[in-house]
Amino acid sequence: MKSPHATDYVLGIAGAGAMGQGIAQVAAQGGMRVLLLDAREGAAEAAKATVAGHLRRLAEKGRISAADAEAAAARIEPVATAAALAPCDAVVEAVFEDLEVKRALFAELEAVVGPDCILASNTSSIPIALIARACQRRHRVAGLHFFNPVPLMKLVEVIRAAETGAEVVTALTALGQRMTRVPVVVKDSPGFLVNMGGRAFTTEGLRIAHEGVATPAQIDAIMRDCRGFRMGPFELMDLTGIDVNYPVSQIVWEGYQQDRRLATSANHKAMFDAGLLGRKTGAGWYRYAGAEQIDPPSPDHATDADPAATVSLAEPDEALAAFVESLGLRIAPDDGASPILAAPIGDDATHLALATGADFRRLVCLDLTGDTSRRVTIMTAPGAEPAARDALAAAIAATGRKVTAIQDSPGFVAQRIAAMIANLGCYMAEIGLATPADIETAMRLGLNYPLGPMGLADDLGHSTCLRILERLQAITGDDRYRPTLWLKRRALLGLPIDAGA
């Protein structure tokens, strides 16, 4: 098997659509000869012209030299038949997601390439083992899953099927590196790593909205401002397309035997069935004119109430006391009229009122687990007096912060979503889907998360993360929130969250 670092390495690409073009570009820039095949007449030639245009624009922007752009374009050779891929040292399949089409192509490729040629699929959802069943030399079949747009997305998943040889995994890792991608090695499984790991962010956001706890706009704002995500889950679903993320959610959920931790919600299916797919249809969770939202609803709580001057605490809490003092408020014993504050971890206002004896009508809960410099989430129990909530909201707004007021929910919004992302990352480590380090890398690079799941667990504190999940499970009775043993054991033993088995 030839080293991917060899100067005469030849890479074949079957499929000249957007993904195939992106793979061809980074391979050519990596110095490889690229043979580009597409079943549609003239498609490979058109794809080369498109890639050459991208390379010239990079040169115009000063990111590469004009000479390098022309040299890279010259390394891409359109071919008309699978037989023309015979000289390849590896072939990456990038045709549409149809198992039988892929199997037929792999069987055709195996008949023409050499015995040491690697056959890799760029599939995002079909198990590699199912594709490999069409082949005689299954040890050389693997996945090499790039992300769109390939030239901008640095991550590539190297998918190791049950019969994939170790030398093939090593070679594909080196091949990804030569293309200047960051490879992570992943076990063959539904959704692989990124599509599996990305379920928690969107499905928990969907569940929170489905329960009427907060609106999509409120959830998105909280995750941007308090947790540092570039987009909230609903903005992200509209960007990728609900016709993409809903079916992927179903594939992953079914593939993991309908695990409650991976289930989506009825509101997700309703949008899919209605054809409200996001930006591409002009309407999804938001309305669009091109890429711009039209009249997006405000996530901010507006009030003309007078700011509170005095508050009491439902229970001793140093962090909450410091936050209250930073607002310029006085903390005093309960006077029977002023707001009563609490900053629960995992609890809702209802259960905290019962546990502390605080008057639920004046109890206002604050989430202090994330960044509160721009936005503060507050929460009240059913039957609470709006006056207490509004007086506190006015006091927070007076410091220049935004306020989002949500309905009662164990774990607020950010605690729930962050804990679920962390828990799912721990589950992926627990089942050996990838190493903790690769899980962290994949989630940051593949999904642009500010922190991967292990980083989120560390940021929350893994004991705090465990408590949030345990309280969610206890209050809701939903097995969706059961903590993984990976997280639970490390939290109980005080071990680092990324400590090995």
The tens digit of pLDDT for each residue in 13-57 reads: 999 999 999 999 999 999 999 999 999 999 999 999 999 999 999
* From 5, 54, 139, 145, active-site residue: 145
Residue 212 Cα to chain centre, angstroms: 23
Q: What is the DSSP letter of 287?
A: B
Q: How far apart are CA 44 and CA 99, in angstroms?
A: 22
- In sequence order, the 6+-apart residues with CB closer than 8 A to the CB of 463 are 491
Q: Which two tokens stand for residue 294?
A: 């039209």
Dmax (CA) of the chain = 85
Q: For the purposes of burial, counting CB atoms within 10 Å of the CB of 302, is it exposed (0-12), middle (13-18) or buried (19 or more)? A: exposed
DSSP 3-state helix, strand, coil percentages of the chain (rounded to 5)? Answer: 45, 15, 40
> Side-chain half-sphere of 330: how many Cα atoms within 13 Å?
7
Tell me how long the chain is. 501
Q: Whole-prediction pTM value?
A: 0.94
Q: How far apart are CA 139 and CA 498, in angstroms?
A: 31
- The continuous run of DSSP H or E covering 266 comes out as helix 266-274
Amino acid at residue number 103:
R
Architecture of the domain made up of 195-293: Orthogonal Bundle (1.10)
In terms of Cα–Cα distance, which of 500, 434, 433, 426 is closest to 460? 426
Look at the block and give the residue holding tokens 């907060």.
214
DSSP notation for 59-114: HHTTSS-HHHHHHHHHTEEEESSGGGGTT-SEEEE---S-HHHHHHHHHHHHTTS-
| AA letter at 31 | G
Structure tokens, 139: 């040890």
**Residue whose C-alpha is closest to residue 366's, from 422, 297, 308:** 308
Tell me the backbone φ, ψ of residue 191, rounded to 5 degrees: 80, -5
CATH number of 310-406: 3.40.50.720
Say how many CA atoms lie within 13 Å of 185 toward its Cβ: 16
> Closest Cα partner for 91 from 27, 31, 40?
27
List the pLDDT tens digit at each of the 501 positions of the chain: 899 999 999 999 999 999 999 999 999 999 999 999 999 999 999 999 999 999 999 999 999 999 999 999 999 999 999 999 999 999 999 998 899 999 999 999 999 999 999 999 999 889 999 999 989 999 999 999 999 999 999 999 999 999 999 999 999 999 999 999 999 999 999 999 999 999 999 999 999 999 999 999 999 999 999 999 999 999 999 999 999 999 999 999 999 999 999 999 999 999 999 999 999 999 999 999 999 999 999 999 999 999 999 999 999 999 999 999 999 999 999 999 999 999 999 999 999 999 999 999 999 999 999 999 999 999 999 999 999 999 999 999 999 999 999 999 999 999 999 999 999 999 999 999 999 999 999 999 999 999 999 999 999 999 999 999 999 999 999 999 999 999 999 999 999 998 876
CA angle, 103 as apex, 166 and 443 as ends, to 5°? 55
Write down the CATH number for the domain with range 10-188.
Answer: 3.40.50.720
Angle made by CA atoms 86, 87, 91, in degrees to the nearest 5 = 75
| Residue 317 and residue 340 in contact, taking contact as beta carbons nearer than 8 Å | no
310, 330 in Cβ contact below 8 A? Answer: yes
Does residue 408 contact residue 349 with C-beta atoms inside 8 Å?
A: yes
**Active site annotation includes 5:** no
- Considering the chain, tell me which residue range(s) the CATH 1.10.1040.50 domain(s) occupy: 195-293
**pLDDT at residue 501, as a whole number:** 66
Q: Which residues of the chain does CATH 3.40.50.720 include?
A: 10-188, 310-406
